[in-house]
Amino acid sequence: MPPKKRRVASGPPPPADMPANAAASADHAADTDPSSIDAPAAPTASTSSAAEAKAERGVLLEVCCDSVASCLAAEAGGAGRIELCSGLVEGGLTPSIGLVATVVAATSLPVMVLIRPRPGDFVHTAVEVGAMVRDVEAIGTVGAAGVVIGALDAEGAPDMPTLTRMVGAAKAAGLGCTFHRAIDMARDPVEVLQACVSLGIDRILTSGGSNTALAGASTIANLVTQSAGTAVSIMAGGGVTEDNAKELADRTGVTEIHGSFRVPLPCATRYRKQGVFMGGSKENTQESEFMIKVAGADRVAGAVAALADLEVKHFPVLARQDRLQ
């Protein structure tokens, strides 16, 4: 079945003067009530041109989102692309196909979908690989721009057979590919870069093998240098805020930055049962049990503004426009 064209919600973004929490709350309402999302319309050439023009003025900001509310806030804040996942508390997991389809319909931004079937390491069984390939194939039917993949062998090297299968499935579906932060657990990041070049992967998301991208800035800068002349773009992510995004771009030379920019919001429920907590080993409090975190439009806008004036020598395409038009 050929992939569906990406669809764009026709409703306008929240007003520029709307307070951040009000905008996020409005987005949360849209998230919890699908009927509040406007009927989708086809993307226009002007939308694509505007995004490309904005991108040429600075470094692209990709926002990591795990809900419709976060995706709408990312778009309202001026982000250039979305990485969609679930389970951010676990480092990100594959979202449901229903969430992917809903987000594609609700936003005009390119949507990259994380493929990770479970928490833990990136050494996968044959059954898990089969599930990931099927996820890639399914995502190719709902109009996403691409997938975010990664796999290592037990020695910390790129798992080439698994990666070859996933990239093959993605290319067959017309999807772009990002290699995720499995690179930060690999034995040699340059080895991963070489694998991505040979496989035709579009970009690598990395914190430079550190807990934060700023701490790994020298490694990221080396990857940028090593990737020069290839088709692979290096995207820095990990601990990125609106306050340090510009410094990170300056120190590494990347043309893409990735962060979640989340803010806490109270849940909509009025009845709040006490003493019962959802989840396993994570530490909850009574307050956090009735709290959600979504991307803050003002935080995204702050990062976009910080990156807007940076000059870059190269800027990768935002999406596979030939497939999405």
Tell me, what's the pLDDT at 212?
A: 97
CA 152 to chain centre: 20
CB 75 within 8 A of CB 13: yes
Tell me, what's the pLDDT at 288?
A: 76
**Ranges of H-type helices in 200-320:** 217-227, 245-252, 286-289, 297-308
CA separation, residue 312 to residues 104, 110, 245 (Å): 29, 21, 15
CA separation, residue 109 to residues 31, 72, 105, 150, 286 (Å): 17, 9, 10, 23, 36
Tell me, what's the pLDDT at 278?
A: 77
Largest pairwise CA distance in the chain: 58
CB 271 within 8 A of CB 290: no
Structure tokens at 211: 């807990």
Q: Which amino acid is at 187?
A: R
CB 253 within 8 A of CB 221: yes
What is the full per-residue pLDDT of the chain (325 aa) written as tens digits?
444 444 332 233 333 333 344 344 334 434 434 334 333 333 333 333 333 333 444 799 999 999 999 999 999 999 999 999 999 888 999 999 999 999 999 999 999 999 999 999 999 999 999 999 999 999 999 999 999 999 999 999 999 999 999 999 999 999 999 999 999 999 999 999 999 999 999 999 999 999 999 999 999 999 999 999 999 999 999 999 999 999 999 999 999 999 999 999 988 889 988 877 776 545 666 667 888 899 999 999 999 999 997 755 433 333 333 323 3
Tell me, what's the pLDDT at 284?
A: 62
How many other CB atoms sit within 10 Å of the CB of residue 299? 23
Query: Cα separation of 230 and 228, whole Å?
Result: 6
Query: Cα separation of 70 and 27, whole Å?
Result: 7
Q: Which residue has the tokens 């969609």?
A: 84
Query: Which secondary structure element, helix H or strand E, spans residue 133, and what is its range?
Result: helix 126-139
Tell me, what's the pLDDT at 281?
A: 47
